[in-house]
Structure 1
Amino acid sequence: MATASSPRPPPSASSPTDSTGPHRDTKTSAQALYFLNLRILLLLIAFRILNALCLSTFFQPDEFFQSLEPAWQIVWGPDSGAWITWEWRHQLRSSIPPFLFAAVYAVVRLLVSIWPPLSPSTVADLFIAAPKTLQAVIAAGGDYYTWKLAGRLYGEQSDAAWATLILTVLSPWQWFCSTRTLSNCLEATLTVMAWYWWPWAGSRGLQGQQGNHYSDGESFPERRGAAEDVRWGPAEWILLRKSLLFAALAGVLRPTNVLIWICLGGFALARATRAQRVRLLLEAFVCGCTVMGISVLLDRRYYGSWTLPPLKFLYFNIAQSLAVFYGRNDWHYYLSQGYPLLLTTALPFTLWGLYQALIPSGPCHGLIRRQLAIVCLFLPGVLSLISHKEVRFIYPLLPALHVLTAPPLLEAFRPAITNAAGAGVPRRLILLFLLLVNLSIALYTTLSHASGPLAVLSYLREQHLVHRQSFLGSSVMIPTEDPKRSMTVGFLMPCHSTPWRSHLVFPSIHAWALSCEPPVGLNVTRKAAYLDEADQFYDNPSHFLQHQMVGGLRYIPRRPSYLSSTHLRPVRPSTSAQDESLALRPHKWPDYLVFFAQLESTLHSALRSSSYGECWRTWNTAWHDDWRRRGDIVVWCLDPDAQQVWRNQNRKKASERRDRQFDRIIDSIKKQATAKGWRMGKQPSYLWRHWPFASASPRWSSSWLSNRIKRNTILEIFRTPPWPWSPTKVKKTSPRKPSSERDLWS
């Protein structure tokens, strides 16, 4: 028993007087971490949705033809006009992305049907924005798990984890690509989620790490030595199952993703005992079969027969080498172009981060970082053996590259941020310059570069609604209706240069485009001589128009189809290319012709006697690596009213430009006259009274000027006034009153 003189010990966290203290602190800390993670995730979702809705440029046709077009067909049926490419007819693609976006289309369709009446343009905008919004949420998930993966390596709330998040958010490639409906974008998100759940046995990350936890408080099991690596607990097997499910799904979407897991699985097998190797392989087999079974059922539902798209994908692209049909690249493509495009200004820091991760003596060495670095070199190395290469094939590596880039970036710029002395100013300026470069690249690629393909489809939708309203009044078609009148469009462009039904939306817009079917089933000799429809057109455009258009160049319609009184039920042109024979079917002359400006002189010569005329034009890009896609996107039409409206708009714009140019000239002369007058000691007001235009309005209009005076009168005015600053000597005469305005212009 304690006496009165004995000191009472201070209450501690474990004291019986406050037994709930440590539990309360732990619970409070877990709640704070949970709400922080939730806020970060919501902010990322909001940011990526804004990113997706502002994205107005064209990147790859697969963004639309490998996801949105099949999804549109699932919802609206085979007669919806969706363009189904050859990969789907030969069952090379997994149906998981189409079903994913089809669910979004179905939800929007239901909302439109039960919502108060919306305008057709609003309905079209909803159908275009819906898949973008879903992909934005997926992209935000990828950003979030990239941050969480960095937190696992470097510690929750560490500077390196926050630097990784900043790298991801400010990455120009992420701005440009992450919110596109490409299967590679979904693959990248699934890959980084699988990395986050993967039981990285044998590493605690950087020194000084205080522990790693999931957002829900579940701890990562860690191992300090090789002797303990083989003793995986139940928690590690649970993590492994989660990781393998996401990895299997990524592998079903893109079979090349399996290379990542072959590499990581090899590391895991090398560090496991014999019994654990058997169990690891069994877990991989069970998880893979589960995902593959679900995929097979979906493919059976979509294709109507049992099939395995991953196997057919490998057969067509490797055994038959059909990927070469879409281009060849140098062996060093991923090193010289792939990584620079993915990383932009972060590339030097990434290279240093790879070096630190691969060299055991590096200051930031860890097993997780070394394995990620090896994967980042192994996948491009294997893919370099394939002739056809694209940057998006190594896109799933970008989260790992950002994780490896964070420590070198902190080493370079932490002193400039934390040090208030003037010694950090040069590094701050370099950091600011890098941020501005990233922001400039991101804005240019997402808002400007190759913006014409999406803009021209917006114009076609607007024109369609104008024509429908002129005939049907307020009863404008929505996508569920069977149209009685239509508008036809022909795209004289390289194949898949624009989106299709997912952006045309309205089924009464009937369109055709040049196809590019690969030489499936041909021998080597016939493959070498094979030319698709687009190649045939660009080889000799005039010959193609003469022989592959209905009526040739002699029988071109004089009026658009929607103005013809006999055009009540148009014949649906070949839009989806359901069979290969459609490539040989002649095209009908459309109401609207769409092409790149480099083809303009050729079409002027071929169609000079037709009724086609320019009715719209939009800027596309300042440069392009494909000579066929250079210049503006031009639209010609048969409608004389549309042509006249476009001419009037051009005249108005030209007049406004002349007015602004003339106003700048007048302002410049006034400023020069004022400056000369001050140097000569004369008041500007006196000087301006001698200026012939002084009595007129200070802002002149060139159109008004052209109606009042002749060209020779203008020249005479500029020659005759007695300029006060004239270098020639003028004989002094008796002063006279200033001439009136009528005298000046007579």
Structure 2
Amino acid sequence: MAATEDPTAVVAGATQASPSKDVASPGAACPPVANRRTQQVRDALSMLFGFRLLNAICLRTFFQPDEYFQALEPAWKIAFGADSGPWMTWEWQHNLRSSLHPGLFSLGYTLTASYMSSMRLSPHYTAIALVAIPKVLQAGIAALTDWYAWRLAEKLYGSNSAAAWSVLLMSIANPWVWYVSTRTFSNTMEAALTIAALYYFPWDLLGVEKKAKEKSKPVVFGTPGAVNSLRLSIGLAAIAVILRPTNILIWGAIGIVILTGFTSEGESPLDTWTYVIIIREVLLCGSLVLGLSLAADYQLYGEWTFPPFNFLYFNIGQALAVFYGQNDGHYYLSQGIPLSFTTIAPFAAMGMFNAAAENFSGSLMMQNTRKALGFTSTAMISALSLTSHKEVRFIYPLVPVLHVLAAPYITSFFTTITAGGIPTSSGPIGIKRKPLLLAGLFINLIIGSYLSYFHAAAPIQVMDYLRGEFERLHPDNATLAEPYGRYNATSEPLELFALFLTPCHSTPWRSHLVYPALRARGLTCEPPLHTEPGSAERASYIDEGWRFERNRMGFLSTELWPSEGGGEIPRYIIGFEGIEDTLMEYFGSDGLGANKGVTLTKTWAQWNGLFSDDGRKAGELRVWETNTYSAAANQAAQDRRL
């Protein structure tokens, strides 16, 4: 039994077979092999969808607001109209975001609502279905991300190779992927589009084997299939750039490698005709995607607009990105990669930083592709490190790429060629360093379980509680049928049902509240759009959420419920436990709000996790009933339901 410590040996063995074909035994018929291969590919996708659907169902925690406010809230508006209660943040009011991403979820909302209406089920079940449908769609996106990463690895390392299968296993066992992939971020869609585009990309453009007897340039686009693959790659990449303009960094880096030959070996296939084909397809496919984007955005915004330009103008030109936080230049290296890969971070780092210098004994296409992907990953992280505002999810599109680059290293570290082992294209393999492997998997299991089921679960659960209370108290108004039933039996407007005194966007919104008649209000955190970069006015600007935090009593008495009148008293107030003393003092017999007729009663509370990135969210999330609505009215609501 020989241990395989050198990753080049793993790749060499894996690439003895053609990367795109299975190796049949002598005398075996090709069609059955092809059929088995096709079935294997389909089975893998089905398995991944089932796994990610389970992932989405188990995920019951809150991560970041953009999961809802950059996807599901605009999707709700597209599906049900502006009058249905979505919270459209400033980015949507100033046309910074493409409608293509929320458009997918709006289609899911529309079809689900139509189907549930035809089934004549109660609004309660319709609400459950509407909350669930984005999870189903996102599970499909996550599964495709895993699947295309595996397929790209097979192109590089060979079908049924240990290195290719390790990419699939890394995707499944990575707790960060479990935590993020089934969330409706634009970053997760960007990752799916990017890895699919990389799979279809014609990597032979980087260089081909030199053939002394041939004087003419080798042909890359000699078949319709090769051109169609290029079209798919360009189209998917264009959509990714429309959704996330920073995705251009990936394709810009690959373009540099192609044009300069940097990191590439072999003979360049670029000639006049190849350039013509590339330019033609970029113009055609790019124009098609651009036209689709412009038309979709016109439908959402009511005017012709180009969100990527607006995105760059506001975030960079107007320096508004820093309003959401600043990080150290080493953030992605010191925190981004460790968080994104946890126990396999060393292998991911080796794959990225060693790719340009390594010399694997595999096909030239594999070597050039690995070097190009390593350069691209380094270039993107370097460029993003120059910006002030950084988030770990900004490098999420690189996660499947780095899984592919890490594959030879993790395979050589944990596997060895052994008789009677697991069959692969490079020979039967066995597992070594089992205690270390099991320890890593156990750590990943603990991290993934805690983050997906316990950490910050309260912001999701409180929405279910409020929706259930609305169904109980206002059964006749729990509907999606227009005009949305915003009035009670005596034609009076329904009360302000929920007031969120939490940090801005600490919970989902209409995508989980569902019913348009369920009126709610939350503290805002709009950036200072009216100020100039570097001005004293901008430096002194404080948003509503922080004004409440810095002077809670003053905010309640002057902004929320001023002494001269105005300001609705809600049925429920939602906040983290740190504000309870302030509320009790304000509404107490000697408080500034004593005349409001409020007697607070805690009706719901849930722990929000071991730690938080915002001290204001520490402890429990709680719901207090104000008791300003008579018991008789509550009983009448119950009677109407019965």
The CA distance in 2 between the partners of 1:419 and 1:428, in whole Å, is 17
Partner of 1:260: 250
The CA distance in 1 between the partners of 2:341 and 2:445, in whole Å, is 13
Partner of 2:45: 41
Contact 2:501 2:575 in 1 (8 A): yes
Q: Secondary structure at the match of 2:397?
A: helix
Contact 2:415 2:431 in 1 (8 A): no
Q: Secondary structure at the match of 2:203?
A: coil
The CA distance in 2 between the partners of 1:544 and 1:33, in whole Å, is 65
Give the CA deviation at 1:92: 0.5
Q: 1:492 aligns with which of 501, 514, 524?
A: 501
Structure 1 residue runs of 4 or more that deviate by more than 6 Å after TM superposition? 21-24, 226-229, 416-420, 640-643
Q: What are the within-5 Å matches in structure 2 for residues 217-616 of structure 1?
A: 223-225=208-210, 231-235=219-223, 236-270=226-260, 271=268, 272-361=270-359, 366-415=367-416, 427-469=433-475, 477-480=478-481, 481-485=484-488, 486=494, 488-523=497-532, 524-552=535-563, 587-609=567-589, 610-616=598-604
Give the CA deviation at 1:406: 1.2
The CA distance in 2 between the partners of 1:104 and 1:273, in whole Å, is 45
- Residue deviations 1:574-595, cap 9 Å, x none? xxxxxxxxxxxx6422110000
Contact 1:416 1:427 in 2 (8 A): no
The CA distance in 2 between the partners of 1:344 and 1:229, in whole Å, is 45
Summarize the Cα distance change of 1:229–1:494 in structure 2 as closer, same or farther, 3 Å threshold: farther
Contact 1:70 1:98 in 2 (8 A): yes
Q: Partner amino acid for 1:27?
A: P
The CA distance in 1 between the partners of 2:351 and 2:420, in whole Å, is 24
The CA distance in 1 between the partners of 2:109 and 2:325, in whole Å, is 33
TM-score by length of 2: 0.84
Partner of 2:194: 191
Give the CA deviation at 1:494: 1.1
Contact 2:600 2:626 in 1 (8 A): yes
Summarize the Cα distance change of 1:135–1:94 in structure 2 as closer, same or farther, 3 Å threshold: same
Q: Partner amino acid for 1:170?
A: A
Give the CA deviation at 1:229: 6.8
Q: Partner amino acid for 1:133?
A: V
Summarize the Cα distance change of 1:416–1:624 in structure 2 as closer, same or farther, 3 Å threshold: farther
The CA distance in 2 between the partners of 1:416 and 1:432, in whole Å, is 20
The CA distance in 1 between the partners of 2:94 and 2:313, in whole Å, is 11
Contact 1:230 1:276 in 2 (8 A): no
The CA distance in 2 between the partners of 1:253 and 1:201, in whole Å, is 28
The CA distance in 2 between the partners of 1:76 and 1:293, in whole Å, is 25
Contact 2:67 2:185 in 1 (8 A): yes
Q: Partner amino acid for 1:174?
A: V
Q: Partner amino acid for 1:345?
A: T
Summarize the Cα distance change of 1:399–1:55 in structure 2 as closer, same or farther, 3 Å threshold: same
The CA distance in 1 between the partners of 2:149 and 2:478, in whole Å, is 45
Give the CA deviation at 1:636: 0.7
- Residue deviations 1:341-391, cap 9 Å, x none? 111000111222234422144567811111111111110100111100011
- Alignment of 1:617 with 2:605, yes or no, is yes
Contact 1:327 1:388 in 2 (8 A): yes
- Residue deviations 1:420-472, cap 9 Å, x none? 9xxx9981111000001111111111111111100111111111122125xxx
Q: Secondary structure at the match of 1:635?
A: strand
Greater Cα offset, 592-601 or 271-280: 271-280
Give the CA deviation at 1:528: 0.5
The CA distance in 2 between the partners of 1:143 and 1:642, in whole Å, is 54
Partner of 1:135: 138
The CA distance in 2 between the partners of 1:150 and 1:425, in whole Å, is 20
Contact 1:202 1:224 in 2 (8 A): no
Give the CA deviation at 1:392: 1.0
Structure 2 alignment gaps of length 5 or more:
1-24, 261-267, 422-429, 489-493, 590-597, 632-642
Contact 1:147 1:165 in 2 (8 A): yes
Same amino acid, percent of matched pairs: 41
The CA distance in 2 between the partners of 1:88 and 1:482, in whole Å, is 27
Give the CA deviation at 1:22: 10
Give the CA deviation at 1:396: 0.4
Summarize the Cα distance change of 1:418–1:634 in structure 2 as closer, same or farther, 3 Å threshold: farther
Q: Partner amino acid for 2:355?
A: A
- Which structure's CA Rg is the greater one? 1
Q: Partner amino acid for 1:606?
A: Y
Q: Secondary structure at the match of 2:82?
A: coil
Give the CA deviation at 1:596: 0.8
The CA distance in 2 between the partners of 1:637 and 1:37, in whole Å, is 54
- Alignment of 1:89 with 2:93, yes or no, is yes
Q: Partner amino acid for 1:294?
A: L
Q: 1:146 aligns with which of 145, 149, 174?
A: 149
Partner of 2:426: none
The CA distance in 2 between the partners of 1:193 and 1:23, in whole Å, is 35
Summarize the Cα distance change of 1:250–1:417 in structure 2 as closer, same or farther, 3 Å threshold: farther
The CA distance in 2 between the partners of 1:325 and 1:100, in whole Å, is 29
Q: Aligned-residue CA RMSD in angstroms? A: 2.5
Summarize the Cα distance change of 1:202–1:97 in structure 2 as closer, same or farther, 3 Å threshold: closer
Give the CA deviation at 1:616: 1.1
- Alignment of 1:167 with 2:170, yes or no, is yes
Q: Partner amino acid for 1:176?
A: Y
Summarize the Cα distance change of 1:228–1:508 in structure 2 as closer, same or farther, 3 Å threshold: farther
Partner of 2:626: 638
Q: Partner amino acid for 2:508?
A: P
Give the CA deviation at 1:642: 12
Aligned length: 565
The CA distance in 1 between the partners of 2:27 and 2:432, in whole Å, is 48
Q: Secondary structure at the match of 1:248?
A: helix
Q: Partner amino acid for 1:457?
A: M
Give the CA deviation at 1:228: 7.8
With CA pairs under 8 Å and 6+ residues apart, which has the higher RCO, 1 or 2? 2
TM-score by length of 1: 0.72
